[in-house]
Amino acid sequence: MNKRFFRVVIFALFAGFGFASAAHELECEKRAGIVKLDATGHPMLDPATGLPMFAVAPAAVLEVGTYPAAIGFRIGVHNLAADTSVVTAVSDPLLDALASKATFGTLIGPGLSLAVDGRAEQVVVVNVDSQQQCLDLFKGGATGAAPVCQNVVENRFVVSHEVGSAECRTQVICGAPPPPPTCDAGQHSCDGKCVSNSSLNSCGKSCTPCAAPPEHAKATCDGSACGFECDPNYVHSNGANIHVAGTTNGALTSDANFGDYDAFLASLDRSGARYQTRQFGTAGHDEGNGVSIDAAGNRYVVWTGSSAMVTKFDAAGNSLWTKAIGGSGGLTRSSGIVADAAGNTYAAGSTSESLSDQTNAGLNDAFVTKLDTLGNEVWTRLIGSSGNDFARAVALDQAGNVYVAGHTTGVLAGTANGGREDAFLAKLDSAGNLLWIRQFGSADGEAANGVGVDAAGNAYVGGSVIVTIEGIPIGDTDVFLAKYDSSGNQIWFQQFGSTDSDNGNAVAVDAAGNSWIAGSMLGDTPGGEPNAFVAKYDTAGTRLWLHQFGSDLGEFANGIVVDAGGNAYVTGTTNGDFGPPPNAGGEDVFVFKIDPSGKLMNGAH
């Protein structure tokens, strides 16, 4: 595989370099440099800032003479006004023309608010493999001994605000590369070096040809074996390592695929390196739906095969037991799981059959099943109406009470339906008795997809709303995040989004009581595809920040968890590159770490 980094945008609060002259008290600077790559071809990040490190420092004029190269465009803005300035428009002919550019985080774009002396910075990294590709990417250049990729007039960045604008420029020269080395017999040139013809290196072998992967999957290759890997939808941290559950059509381990699609459990260390993978399933179609960890480091994966299933793994990755919930007809499906410190697990999902001593109330009922540490069923509770009821997420408080979030087309106990489909939040005690249900919605459709609980027993539920529950609708579909106290009283409700379709998919709560929500936003994104987002709110419901990140090709954040230090870990899928590492083809899984201030720390595919 060629050593290459495709594209990524890194964001951070701006500090440390000069600006062009002011225009109406807003300054900007655009510079280009060569980004340092590690041995695997990925950008080396400064641990203090999370930004790429430069082998050639950013400058007003950059001449590229060695390929492949990772060109980093560093763009910064600074508000010198005596009041807050809001960016109203940006123009960047160079980067706007690149189909491969990717963005995430707090972008320098319309709506960005800069406080007095406020600064913002973004770094865009673009891979070029050759002089010709450099010229093709950066169109508009002149010809000659040292062709100009983009002349000074066209290679500019303009940022506008309420009372004016600022312009800054840079220049890239696509120089000719040095001639390849003359290699001895039995050697060939690879990345400008002579290597043995028998060496395995970055110019080595690949799996060809592989069949096109199905929708929402990426092709995988192990030796000469082809397969597919599908997206995970849940991430769990035990404070040291990260554990992700998902689905694959390929062989992620040395074992062959068990059937059509398998469930998997992947474990990553603090640096984002994957150190353990377990693949399991039946001969049919299986999906990994969630993972949780107990105090001893045991891992519990909830998955769906012929029924809802829970499998327990010890800290070494050994499978200890598997428990089926429901019959074998595929009528019971899982959606989430949470484990307590003692190793009891609470699995949630939906079923169209009766479970244990619980009778189904209609079409699909939501369910919660508690299993002890040996996998024995302790109790099962159905939450249902005459319509369709689905549990999407489950959480615990410190007293052992269970909180379930989902959506319903019917009328749940003691509530009324606001329209076609409502969100709901239910609280059960440790014995599985229903304490209360809160059903809420507008005349259109709502769904609760995530729930988290703080140390005081307040529950935070998030999801999507088509019209509005409180306030004015912003777009086609908006994100909502609501706080309820332990008695079920709503404390606050926040609705936000773009002018297009946005979805809240997962919720987490940190030790300070701040709530985090992750999902996808379609509005104001490059390429017309959704980008992932993460937003953080304080205990009073005030938004601290919101970061949107992704590529031109579409990203979805499906899971989030926060560690004891207040760092968040976000997982989801991407069709593009906003790495590192670069996309392997089709749809990739990502896991990113974000610090309490919203700064991206690292990521993994």
pLDDT single digits (tens) 174-214:
777 667 677 777 665 655 666 555 443 334 333 344 455 44
Which amino acid would we find at residue 378? V
In this prediction, residue 262 carries a pLDDT of 80
Find out whether the peptide bond into 526 is cis, omega within 30 degrees of 0. no
Highest mean pLDDT: which of 172-181, 209-218, 522-531? 172-181
Q: Per-residue pLDDT for 445 more than 70?
A: yes
Work out the number of other CB atoms within 10 angstroms of the CB of residue 55.
15
Q: Return d(Cα 440, Cα 437) in angstroms, integer.
A: 10
- Whether the per-residue pLDDT at 34 is higher than 50: the answer is yes
* Closest CA relative to residue 191, chosen from 369, 68, 371: 68
Across residues 408-415, what is the average pLDDT?
Answer: 80
Q: pLDDT band at 471, cuts 50/70/90?
A: low
Q: Please say whether the beta carbons of 396 and 459 come within 8 A.
A: no
Can you read off the two tokens belonging to residue 224? 């000469």
**Tell me, what DSSP letter sits at residue 46?**
P
CA–CA distance, 31 with 73 (Å, rounded to integer): 6
Compute the average pLDDT of residues 126-136: 79
Task: Evaluate whether 506 touches 449 at the Cβ level (below 8 Å).
Answer: yes
Query: In the prediction, which pLDDT does 158 show?
Result: 84
Q: Which of 7-11, 20-24, 472-476 has the highest mean pLDDT?
A: 472-476
**Distance from C-alpha of 248 to C-alpha of 4, rounded to nearest angstrom:** 25
User: Which one is predicted more confidently, 401 or 160?
Assistant: 401
| Domains detected in the chain | 7-174 (2.60.40)
Q: Report the chain's mean pLDDT, rounded to a whole number.
A: 76
The values of phi and psi at residue 93, to 5°, are -55, -35
Tokens of 200: 């395995």
Q: Go through 547-573 and write b for each residue having 16 or more CB atoms within 10 A of its CB, e for each that does not.
A: bbbbbbbbbbbbbbbbbeebbbbbbbb
Residue 404 has which token pair? 């379930």
Count other C-beta atoms under 10 Å from residue 155's C-beta. Answer: 23
Q: Which residue has the higher pLDDT, 136 or 345?
A: 345
Q: Which residue has the tokens 């539920």?
A: 461
Lowest pLDDT segment from 361-365, 388-392, 416-420 = 416-420
**397 — alpha (psi -120 to 50), left (phi > 0) or beta?**
beta
Mean pLDDT of 73-102: 81
What is the DSSP secondary structure assignment for residue 178, as one 8-state letter? P
Confidence label for 272 from pLDDT (cuts 50, 70 and 90): confident
Task: Express as a percent the part of the chain with pLDDT over 90.
Answer: 21
Tokens of 450: 């995530």
Polymer length in residues for the chain: 605
Is pLDDT larger for residue 448 or for residue 260? 448
Give the Cα separation of 518 and 522 in Å (integer): 14
Which residue would you say has higher pLDDT here, 499 or 406?
A: 406
- Using an 8 Å Cβ cutoff, are 460 and 492 in contact? no
Query: How far, in whole angstroms, is CA 328 from its chain's centroid?
Result: 33
Tens of pLDDT, residues 301-345: 998 888 888 999 988 888 899 999 988 776 888 889 999 888 899
Indicate whether 139 pLDDT > 70: no
Yes or no: say if 492 and 546 are a contact pair by the CB < 8 Å rule.
no
Strand residue runs (E) in 259-364: 262-268, 274-280, 287-293, 299-304, 308-313, 319-325, 332-339, 345-351
State the Cα–Cα distance between residues 367 and 307, nearest whole angstrom: 13
Contact between 429 and 479 under an 8 Å Cβ cutoff? The reply is no
51-55, 157-161, 472-476, 501-505: which has the minimum mean pLDDT?
Answer: 472-476
pLDDT in the model for residue 236: 63
More confident residue, 576 or 427: 427
**Between 541 and 161, whose confidence is greater?**
541
Q: Provide long-range contacts, Cβ within 8 A and 24+ apart, for 201-205.
A: 202/1, 202/2, 202/3, 202/41, 203/2, 204/1
Question: Three-state DSSP class for 520?
Answer: strand
Strands 308-313 and 319-325: antiparallel
Main-chain phi, psi angles of 598, to 5 degrees? 100, 5
At residue 8, the pLDDT reads 24
Q: What is the pLDDT of residue 372?
A: 95
The structure tokens listed for 180 are 């390849």
Band (235; pLDDT cuts 50, 70, 90):
low
Q: Name the more confident of 314 and 48.
A: 314
Residue of 191 and 30 predicted with greater confidence: 30
Q: Is residue 5 over pLDDT 70? A: no
Position 510 pLDDT exceeds 70:
yes
- Say what the pLDDT of residue 585 is: 56
What does pTM read for this prediction? 0.60
Type of residue numbered 78:
H
More confident residue, 475 or 283: 283
Task: Give mean pLDDT, residues 348-372.
Answer: 90
CB 25 within 8 A of CB 85: yes
- Answer yes or no: is pLDDT of 231 > 70: no
SS3 category, 135: helix
Confidence class for position 104, pLDDT limits 50, 70, 90:
very low
pLDDT at 578 over 90: no
For the record, the structure tokens of 440 come out as 């809420």
Q: Is residue 181 a contact partner of residue 69, using CB atoms and an 8 Å limit?
A: no
Nearest to 42 by CA among 577, 533, 571, 549: 577
Residues 540-559 have pLDDT tens digits of 999 999 888 766 666 778 88
Overall average pLDDT of the 109-125 stretch: 86
State which H helix or E strand residue 446 sits in. strand 446-453
User: In the predicted model, what is the mean pLDDT of residues 570-581?
Assistant: 69
75 touches 60 (CB < 8 A): no
| Owner of token pair 């987002």 | 533
- For residues 547 and 222, is the Cβ–Cβ distance under 8 A? no
Q: What percent of the chain has pLDDT over 70?
A: 72
pLDDT of residue 281: 76
- Comparing 48-62, 132-146, 478-492, 493-507, the range with the smallest average pLDDT is 132-146
Residue linked to tokens 């307040």? 458
